[in-house]
Amino acid sequence: MTTDLAEFAAERGVKYFMISFTDLFGGQRAKLVPAQAIAEMQVEGAGFAGFATWLDMTPAHPDMLAVPDPASVIQIPWKQEVAWVAANCTIEGEEVAQAPRNVLRRQIKEAAALGFNVKTGVEAEYFLLTPDGTAISDPMDTAEKPCYDQQAVMRRYDVVREICDYMLDLGWGPYQNDHEDANGQFEMNWDFADALVTADRHSFFKFMVKSVSEAHGFRATFMPKPVEGLTGNGCHAHISVWDKDGNNAFATDNGTGPTGELGLSEQGAHFLGGIMKHATAMAAITNPTVNSYKRINAPRTVSGATWAPNTVTWSGNNRTHMVRVPGPGRFELRLPDGAANPYLLQAVVIAAGMSGLRSKADPGKRYDIDMYAEGHTVEDAPKLPLNLLDALRAYEADAELTATMGADFSRAFLKLKRQEWDSFVSHFSRWEREHTLDI
Ligand SMILES: [Mg+2]
């Protein structure tokens, strides 16, 4: 059923629509369109100059049109006269191949052609900082092990409750909120759903958390490692794959084959095999910033653990590995961080997993050790990239993954990310001066 956005406005008292798309760097861009003009925009799309965003276009490109997907519309809970709607980018009637929501929709279509529907949930951790972004907003939040600190979570109750109430009203099925493992860090969990629904909600969640936090005088950040020495912002993804009849294709009790390790079916093991095979290349997308590599290759934090992997390993219900299989029928990818683009994150998980299914990939040996204490004993598993440049090189070298994600997308992504790396390395740091001046 297609929602008529003009009718939606009339029924709900919506005065403006925010037609929103996400660029390659995860930035959300929007036009505010009055309800009186939405009927035409729903068909034609809102016009943008693509060059002005991170999509690798030139000023000479024709107008890019962002066509709203009415299935994604959300009346903004803290500003009810405005509705947010995710859009698909087109130019002259053709989908923009590198636009992240289009990249994900293509992967979903490919999986559907093989009879699969990927469902995911994300754990989008964030910090609440002072408005200038330099300090944790709560000066009393200083415990060495602050995870689940009930005193500290209640000092930010007004922010957490407001966001959770909105998720309840929107029907996302939120079920728990907590203070996380770093001072000033929080996590809120809501139900898993189809990958595109989760990607749209993940985008809206970031917008919502930032907006509500600003209204309370704080600055929310999803930056992978915003505070040196503390646990970083992960964005763990929980993944399951379902067949056409709605059965969990990852679970062993679905009758598709012999029972596997940890309740993972043969198909589940192959999907996991694809993730393991492409992990170092995937990092360019799941950990897409210079700062990302200060989280996944971090030394021990103040709390005692980084909660982030540095090696491509998988395990059962053990959080020290890149992949955790907590129970039958699903697994958790602990690699992604808060900088991951919500659409590209889901797209690369599906692309890598489906390649594993096609090639019947083997996930390899399972490790049941504490990777934080005994990681040095693992000799036959690849290390995750040490920095963004290594990750970009790994992605570029993975011909199968770059082709599956789309040649146009991969070219544009690598070009813009290499520019970002060049900008970083041309920047002179205080560290360099301190370590080199008197050499
Ligand atoms: Mg967490």
Q: Percent of the chain, pLDDT > 70?
A: 98
Q: Give the pLDDT band (50/70/90) at residue 255.
A: very low
- Ordered by where they begin, the domains of the chain are 12-94 (3.10.20.70), 106-434 (3.30.590.10)
* Amino acid residing at 117: N
Tell me the CA–centroid distance for residue 345 and ligand 1, in Å: 17
Tell me the CA–centroid distance for residue 187 and ligand 1, in Å: 6
Tell me the CA–centroid distance for residue 172 and ligand 1, in Å: 19
Predicted TM-score (pTM) of the model is: 0.96
Q: Give the pLDDT band (50/70/90) at residue 274.
A: very high
Q: What DSSP string runs through 284-315?
A: HHHS-SGGGHHHHTPPP-TTS-----SB--EE
Tell me the CA–centroid distance for residue 203 and ligand 1, in Å: 18
Tell me the CA–centroid distance for residue 84 and ligand 1, in Å: 27
Residue 305's pLDDT is what?
A: 85
Tell me the CA–centroid distance for residue 231 and ligand 1, in Å: 10
Tell me the CA–centroid distance for residue 178 and ligand 1, in Å: 9
Residue 262's pLDDT is what?
A: 81
Per-residue pLDDT reduced to its tens digit, 138-176: 999 999 999 999 999 999 999 999 999 999 999 999 999
Type and span of the H or E element at 241: strand 235-243
Cα(397)–Cα(273) distance, rounded to whole angstroms? 18
Tell me the CA–centroid distance for residue 396 and ligand 1, in Å: 30
- Is residue 222's pLDDT more than 50? yes
Tell me the CA–centroid distance for residue 132 and ligand 1, in Å: 25
Tell me the CA–centroid distance for residue 122 and ligand 1, in Å: 10
How far are the Cα atoms of 12, 174, 244, 250, 419 from residue 82, in angstroms, in the given order? 10, 23, 36, 40, 36
Instruction: Kindly state the tokens that stand for 276.
Output: 């393991």
Residue 256's pLDDT is what?
A: 47
Instruction: Kindly state the tokens that stand for 349.
Output: 């998980």
Tell me the CA–centroid distance for residue 236 and ligand 1, in Å: 7
How far are the Cα atoms of 208, 316, 396, 409 from residue 405, in angstroms, in the given order? 29, 29, 12, 7
Instruction: Kindly state the tokens that stand for 428.
Output: 């002179």
Tell me the CA–centroid distance for residue 201 and ligand 1, in Å: 18
Tell me the CA–centroid distance for residue 194 and ligand 1, in Å: 21
Q: What DSSP string runs through 37-84?
A: GHHHHHHH-EEE-GGGSSS---TTSPPEEEEE-GGG-EE-TTSTTEEE
Tell me the CA–centroid distance for residue 180 and ligand 1, in Å: 6
- Is residue 52's pLDDT more than 50? yes
- Is residue 221's pLDDT more than 50? yes
Q: What DSSP string runs through 90-138?
A: EETTEE-TTSHHHHHHHHHHHHHHTTEEEEEEEEE-EEEE-TTSSSBS-
Tell me the CA–centroid distance for residue 98 and ligand 1, in Å: 30
